[in-house]
Amino acid sequence: MHVEKNYIKDDLGRTLMLRGCNLGGSSKLPFAPNGASWDKDSLQNPKTVSFTGRPFPLEEAESHFKRLAGWGFTFLRFNITWEALEHEGPGIYDEEYLAYLRKVLNIAYEQGISVFIDPHQDVWSRWTGGDGAPAWTMEKLGINIDALDDTGAAFTHQRHTDSYPAMIWPSNYSKYGAAAMFTLFFGGNIYAPETFVDGMPVQDWLQGCYIDAMRHCYRRLKNCKAIAGWGTMNEPHPGYIGCQNLANLEEYVVASGPMPSPFEAMAAASGFSVKVPIYSMISLSGPKIKGYTTINPEKHTIFRDGYECPFKKAGVWTDEGGVPKLLKPDHFSKLNGKPIRFVDDFLNPFMRRFIDRMKAADEKCVFFIEGVPNDDNPRWDAEDKTPVVNAFHWYDGVTLYTKFFTPHFSIQSDTAKISLGKKHVLKSFSGQLKSMIDWTKNNMGNMPCLLGEFGLPFDLNKKKAFKTGDYRKHEEALSMYYDAVDENLLHSTIWNYTADNSHEHGDHWNDEDLSIYHNGEGRAKAGWLRPYPMATAGTPIQFSWNRKKRIFTYQFQADPAIPHETEIYMPAEYIGVSPQIMIKDSEGKSIDSVQADYQAEKQRLFLHCGEYSGTVVLTVAGNSRISA
């Protein structure tokens, strides 16, 4: 697999369409002891956990990969975490887990599956309400991880299991634990220059440990033929970088529950009680304050003796006289006296550092980069020859957060624009994806795009489908998402496939339940199991799937210089044994020189174009007739 301009191609020169899923949702959590976030004790003993067994036990790997390959999901975003690699301490890598990964990935390759490794995180770590970084990244800064929730520096599922609001976890990006760590990771040298760890500036130390861990992992897995590429970091976040006024709540991912301003969060984390607003997340006019509460009423501090808030040390605020006072409200708003664009000024340099270090392990690696979700993407030099893919994310936000879906109504996450009517909703979905592709074309050197995450909560409508077995609503939603993906000729990996998904606990992380797999079967398959062109001897133009009529159409420009077949995935479940196949040119005339070879047992349609160099218009009907 390699990158040519804005295409991804195989070694035969064919244009690839990468399609698969994220594997898997519970890979965010330790396997032993079970790290499920609904378990109130799952944050204990962070040094002794093991992720060996994620995404599934080794003895189950072949059956899972066979199932995925049978679904045409031959390209996976393979999720690992920094914690999984290095939970015991800096430079102490879990070699048992790495050996397990090698075995799992070798089985994937045997089943015809390739992957890119995704270093996954959400809101920094499990102790700050998500997953990703080891506990010691905070402990080395003098943070008592057991005090984070007590002080309002995090809102964890483990602590609030019985009263954990749906989709509140992203609010942790605005809370001190995650926000401080991201600020130090990306901008510690600028905004907390007095903070050192083991004799190193905190930013250099954090980034160095992270990159060293991923590079060590890659070196251990270097010869695994399944690995086609590496991600740099899932959903990076600026923390406080770019904040104009620390006294105000700015640039939140979601406003839900208690929401302190950055200054209030700093004060509370350092032992002060702070009265803050409580937000109600969903309303047509945006988040609303529904009351107030006091965070850290017991006046605990997250800092051990001898340590203090790095931003207090940097002179951002003080508590002289026993009362917190903000001294530099715009401390994070500028870089060298100029306004900040986080993705260019901080994220881009990190990505390049990561890529340079990883390329030392393998020059041919393809890298999958991400900007800040629902926000900015980094600009990229068009002259840079490093094989890079913009692996942006997109979700139907109103459905994701409310866990209700109607095809006739949607709100665009970044602009709050309302769409009414199914055609307008679908147009909005497709348009949002197109805007990301257009940005990439104009500002990122026209590199290829992959939709790294999108998906649907399966616990829609208060888990009604779990009782009735009726997944038609889910099928409709997923089909609309995939229609938008197909219309934009996008590579994609849906979130997610969780091998141990359950109706009671979903994907076992923060009450999310987005797994397309459950208890041995695919869920709502009619929404996502569909034909697509896997490898084209030429240039794709457009394709679509009518799931109700079961008609697939594909138009591409054949290239006679590529003497290999075009390969199309055809799910037998919907195409059948003897589909009707029609091949015409752009003027509607049959092309006798293009031969079709449908192999039902392989769920593949092979087209042999020979010397033909024009446009091919393919139509395949499963259970419906097509007119000659």
Angstrom distance (rounded) from CA 72 to CA 80 = 23
- For residue 425, CA distances in Å to 131, 286, 357, 455, 467 come to 33, 19, 43, 16, 28
Which SS3 state, helix, strand or coil, does residue 129 take? coil
| Amino acid letter, 123 | V
The DSSP H or E segment spanning 606 is strand 604-608
Peptide bond into 287 cis (omega under 30): no
Respond yes or no: is residue 62 known to be catalytic: no
The DSSP H or E segment spanning 217 is helix 202-221
- For residue 507, CA distances in Å to 46, 65, 192 come to 21, 19, 37
The answer to whether 302 and 147 have CB atoms below 8 angstroms apart is yes
Helices 61-70/95-110 angle, 10° precision: 40
Angstrom distance (rounded) from CA 132 to CA 124 = 6
Give how far the C-alpha of residue 111 lies from the chain's centroid of Cα atoms, to the nearest Å. 24
Angstrom distance (rounded) from CA 237 to CA 181 = 10
Alpha helices in 259-418 (DSSP H): 262-269, 310-313, 342, 348-359, 397-402
DSSP state of 343: I
Alpha helices in 36-174 (DSSP H): 61-70, 82-86, 95-110, 136-139
Angstrom distance (rounded) from CA 143 to CA 616 = 62
* Residue 246 structure tokens: 């620390």
- The residues that bridge with 584 in the sheet, in sequence order, are 590, 617
Respond yes or no: is residue 504 known to be catalytic: no
DSSP codes joined into one string, 239-283: TTTT-S-TTS--S-S---EE---HHHHHHHHTT--EEEEEEE---
Indicate which residue of 453, 476, 565, 567 is catalytic: 453
Indicate which residue of 235, 370, 475, 567 is catalytic: 235
- For residue 81, CA distances in Å to 20, 54, 199, 394 come to 20, 11, 26, 21
> Strands (DSSP E) along 417-562, which ranges?
418-420, 450-451, 491-497, 517-518, 521-522, 532-536, 538-546, 551-558
Which residues are tagged catalytic? 235, 453
